[in-house]
Amino acid sequence: MVQFVRAHRRACSRSLAAALLGASCVALLASSATANAQTRSLKSGIDTSGFDKSIRPQDDFFRYVNGAWLKKTVIASDASGAGAFNELSDHSRDAMHSLFESAAKPTPPGDRAAPKQVKLTNGATEIERKKVGDMYATYMDSARIEKLGLAPLAPDLKAISAVTSSAQLPAAFATFAAKGVRGPLGVTVGPDQKASSTNIVQVGQAGLGMPDREYYLKNDPKTVAVRNAYTKYLTTLFTLAKEPDPAGAAKRVLALETSIAAKQWDRVKSRDRNATYNKMTVAQLKSMSPAFDWNAYLAAARLSKATDVVVRQPDYINAVDTIMRATPVGTWREYLKAKLLDANASELPAAFVNARFEYNGRAIGGLQEQQPRWKRAVSATEGVLADATGKMYVETHFPAEAKVRMDALVKNLVNAYSVGIDSLEWMSPATKTAAKAKLAKFTVKIGYPDKPKDYTKLTIVRGDLVGNSQRSRMIENDEMVARLGQPVDRTRWSMTAQTVNAYYNASNNEIVFPAAILQPPFFDVTADDAVNYGGIGAVIGHEIGHGFDDQGRKSDGDGNLRDWWSADDAKAFEQRTSMLGAQFDAINPIDDMHINGKMTMGENIGDLSGLAQAYRAYKISLGGKPAPVIDGLTGDQRFFMGFAQIWRTKQRDEALRNQLATNPHSPGQYRAFVPLVNNEVFLKTFNVQSGDKMFRPLTDRVKIW
């Protein structure tokens, strides 16, 4: 990968103590024997084995902390990258693998009584555990999958063949959407952004087989290579399904998707919460696309009682109407077949699995080989039985102490943001009051859902992999449809407990931290708090920061989309975000691809503000007492080292290009660079001076929250 520090690096010309700390800090390192005795039992949580001390921290802090790790780490052949997130995801998957293998073991003949809805030691009920075991075992039964071939999809393929006129397409799109087969429109039920306690039908663009519209429209060699791989994939799917003209069908589907892509909004415009909120009546929606039979679509989707909808990209809806009329129905049948086969390829015989890997795994992600079947089986089982598998994980891998420590961390982060809001020199008192009112209404979810999903209605049959997956998708769809006309359920989670991630939900004004991310290097219950505030504290701060980023700031404490900013405050905010965007726009990670500062703006604001508030929270946690020196490192040093640790990452070039084109997150190494060069405390802690590569003049530094 192209590195962000392109100039020749200066050799480290100062000792660690002198270069990082200055003369006054050298004395601190020579602290008394008494103080050392008091801190001897504390653990720093810093992985110093990953350091590369040939690199000056003032020039490249990411590689100073992670350089040795980068040199020795090899990306697994079945992965697109390596890093802190990958390592924890691997641990989580290994843990689930063990639990699923146990659950999948056949029941001894003497114990074949009907399973009961009672909890076992792992937290799941006996029925849930059996469903998990049956789903996992079914995925692992490759011999049966090969024997069945395409037979499980025969009814669906027959239904597609029965579509003989364009008038039938809307109902077909809705019917197949319920089975997880995406058409050119995405229709869901979710919170109305301007009335967040109410659910409403939402309509938006969808239907592409490649990751983004740019893959269809750009003509540089790398993009063309991906497009050729996708065309080959479609051709293989049609060949395996015994279509009479597989190559021709692939070209026609690609042409249709290209016409769709040309009318779609780009990712920057599509993340604008004001631009994508277009509430209208169903009658107005119908007039916008007269050739599209919305009555038939809504009836097939069981959403006929809807009177209003929110349309995310209105001109796209009109364009689909035109494209549908201009495209022969035979091409639409081919399109639906391609979408059906792709949606189910992972549950079909090896020829389908391998074809999908060559495109999605190798061409898009740069993977060198397919994941072993057990890894794919774990992912598939988690997808079908998310909360049941989450309960199994929590009971065996989430200590109660972790949640207690997290509660304290979150409280300090919220307090830090409150203090930070008060200290803003660019914000008026009235807007500060509104910001603090929103902060006070944040909901925090830690570990796992209080009300996990009930899987009573989901039938899992050993040996019926496609059927299990389709029934799961259809029940998910049933639950979504049932939300229309009902109050928003704010207890729902969008991630499993074993997911290594976190998120902010603007409509609920909530921050959510699944159990699996609460592990080193993000969170270490045995370590001193400096590394925890630099790690998970920055993540907490990041998620809170989403409530005040360029899009999150548009909603209030109840999650309603409304403008609570004064015009002057909004202008001052946008001046600062423009500076931040320009800093990221200037970064060129690979080839001719730069980070898109507008597409990644929300995440970049989260990183910048999250780091600043995590440091403030760390100081709050000390209660006015000095931080201990551990392993010769001060608390402030360990805080920033902990932050850099969590962003250690290596990526394959293909995956990096895909991230730059489609992902709202900047690549990890730059998330450990831009927030630091803007952070006054970091610059002082590591004695960064003019001429150092991480130095930014005061006028060029960005502070938002």
- Of 106 and 28, the one with more pLDDT: 106
- Model pLDDT, residue 114: 53
pLDDT digits (tens, 9 = 90+) for 403-425: 888 999 999 999 999 999 999 99
Listed residue (448, 396, 402) closest to 92, CA to CA: 396
Domain 166-329: CATH superfamily is Neutral endopeptidase , domain2 (1.10.1380.10)
pLDDT at 28 over 70: no
* Structure token digits, residue 341: 């086969």
Number of other residues whose CB lies within 10 A of the CB of residue 648: 26
pLDDT at 483 over 90: yes
pLDDT at 534 over 60: yes
Rounded mean pLDDT, 194-222? 97
pLDDT digits (tens, 9 = 90+) for 586-613: 999 999 999 999 999 999 999 999 999 9
Specify whether the CB–CB gap between 617 and 533 falls below 8 A.
yes
- Of 586 and 123, the one with more pLDDT: 586
**List of residues 6+ apart from 553 with CB closer than 8 A:** 547, 565, 573
pLDDT at 37 over 90: no
Instruction: Kindly list the domain boundaries of the chain, sorted by start residue.
Output: 78-149+348-397+451-482, 166-329
pTM for the model stands at 0.91
Listed residue (485, 511, 513, 476) closest to 498, CA to CA: 513
Specify whether the CB–CB gap between 183 and 207 falls below 8 A.
yes
Least confident range from 9-23, 516-530, 576-590: namely 9-23
Least confident range from 35-44, 82-91, 513-522: namely 35-44
CA distances from 37 to 34, 48, 481 (A): 5, 21, 62
The 3-state DSSP class for residue 461 equals coil
Q: 2: pLDDT confidence band, cut at 50, 70 and 90? A: very low
What is the Cβ-side half-sphere exposure of residue 256, based on CA atoms within 13 angstroms? 30
CA distance 519 to 511: 18
